[in-house]
Amino acid sequence: MATEQRPFHLVVFGASGFTGQFVTEEVAREQVDPERSSRLPWAVAGRSREKLQRVLEKAALKLGRPTLSSEVGIIICDIANPASLDEMAKQATVVLNCVGPYRFYGEPVIKACIENGASCIDISGEPQFLELMQLKYHEKAADKGVYIIGSSGFDSIPADLGVIYTRNKMNGTLTAVESFLTIHSGPEGLSIHDGTWKSAIYGFGDQSNLRKLRNASNLKPVPLIGPKLKRRWPISYCRELKGYSIPFMGSDVSVVKRTQRYLYENLEESPVQYAAYVTVGGITSVIKLMFAGLFFLFFVRFGIGRQLLIKFPWFFSFGYFSKQGPTQKQIDAASFTLTFFGQGYSQGLGTDKNKPNIKICTQVKGPEAGYVASPIAMVQAAMTLLNDASDLPKAGGVFTPGAAFSKTKLIDRLNKHGIEFSVISSSEV
């Protein structure tokens, strides 16, 4: 990708937002990484110079880098002003877009990036937005040779690359994977900023349009290898993890399916079936979550219900989501484990009539998911775009992380930055 003519390798758009400030900090860390062999000129972008300046000052204080503010460019631009987005995109090799909900604010940034030859990465967990952008802009991005890569945060790099890692570590053909997410919190519990809550409300409130979009895209089904992966009950017990689980409601399943389709259609790789769950602990947690879920699903169907959910996130989510987001203490004490249980066939064994005869268990572990792991994943995805160009899909386009990065060193980069991929067990059954 062309970096010579552009003043900034990376531009963090929405740097003064709740998540943007953590992404800004992470780029500042990357800038002084001892393994870096070259300069990393970068900038922050947003509507208010004062707020952007404050974010840089806060990062400088936290990282003990008093000169940080003077090392980083500032670009003033506004999502409502397309000309200002064009100006930002012209100055960037890669734009890190932190402005959500993406269904409202994501498309103008993608459009500006494609028209002005910049690549773009976001951390959207919104399947409707992600799938629509691929449908609308894949060919335009390919024509320009730029890469638009959504869901490059906690949704859905650990899941998407976790499935690819599991496949690469299996001595044979991986046919199906179930993943179980466990969130660990410290003594002060968990809290998530209500931006994520809003994205979920709008997504669930508009599911009929997602179904229409999928029907309109008219894609041929990907072949089923091995027995069909059975869906678990909405509440099921996971014997291996000794706890109850519910389906994971983020974008992981949508993203992994799109990746598997791409790998099958473009690289002739055997597609993997996938299901995602989140562990919820014991029976008390199950009951609490059932009530929260029923409330949510009832209210999200009506305009006034959605307004109430948005206005009182803390009340309706039983304290999990808040307008303030987590405290630094809560962030420091939290972590996640994503466990993958895969099955498949040893080399040479036919997949048509035989039962799967190999099992594998892998894990992706990392720090707090939303505001530590997401920025790490996003920034390392951007560094991969800048440095591993020869291993990316040949033409540009709109890709999932797995489709863009399956042949790159992104997993190695993540391992070095605290998001660790490992094999727990592997056996012939």
Q: Are 112 and 85 in contact (CB under 8 A)?
A: yes
| Cα gap 200→71, rounded to integer Å | 37
Model's pTM, two decimal places? 0.94
Predicted confidence at residue 56, as pLDDT, reads: 98
> Tell me, what's the pLDDT at 288?
80
Number of residues assigned to the chain: 429
Q: CA-CA distance, 29 to 9, in Å (whole number)?
A: 15
Q: What is the spatial distance between Cα 65 and Cα 254, in angstroms, rounded to a whole number? A: 40
What local confidence, expressed as pLDDT, does residue 401 receive?
98
Q: What is the pLDDT of residue 146?
A: 98
95 and 118 in contact (C-beta within 8 Å)?
yes
Among 175, 123, 179, 232, residue whose Cα is nearest residue 364: 179
What pLDDT, on a 0 to 100 scale, did the predictor assign at position 195? Answer: 76
| Token couple for 36 | 């870096």
Q: What HEC string does 22-87 produce?
A: HHHHHHHHHHCCCCCCCCCCEEEEECCHHHHHHHHHHHHHHHCCCCHHHHCEEEECCCCCHHHHHH
pLDDT value of residue 428: 64
Q: List the structure tokens of 111.
A: 């459009």
Burial annotation 386-406 (CB, 10 A radius, 16+ → b, else e): bebeeebbeebbbbbbbbbbb
Please report, in tens digits, the pLDDT of each residue of the chain (429 residues total).
444 589 999 999 999 999 999 999 999 999 998 887 788 999 999 999 999 999 999 999 999 999 999 999 999 999 999 999 999 999 999 999 999 999 999 999 999 999 999 999 999 999 999 999 999 999 999 999 999 999 999 999 999 999 999 999 999 999 999 999 999 998 888 888 877 888 888 878 888 888 898 888 888 889 999 999 999 998 999 999 999 999 998 899 999 999 999 999 999 999 999 999 999 988 888 888 788 788 888 898 888 999 999 999 888 887 788 888 899 999 999 999 999 999 999 988 877 778 999 999 999 999 999 999 999 999 999 999 999 999 999 999 999 999 999 999 999 999 999 999 999 998 865
Q: Which three-class secondary structure state does DSSP give residue 355? A: coil
Looking at residue 2, what is its pLDDT?
45
Burial string for 326-352 (b: 16+ CB within 10 Å, else e) reads beeebbebbbbbbbbbbbbbeeeeebe
pLDDT of res. 322: 86
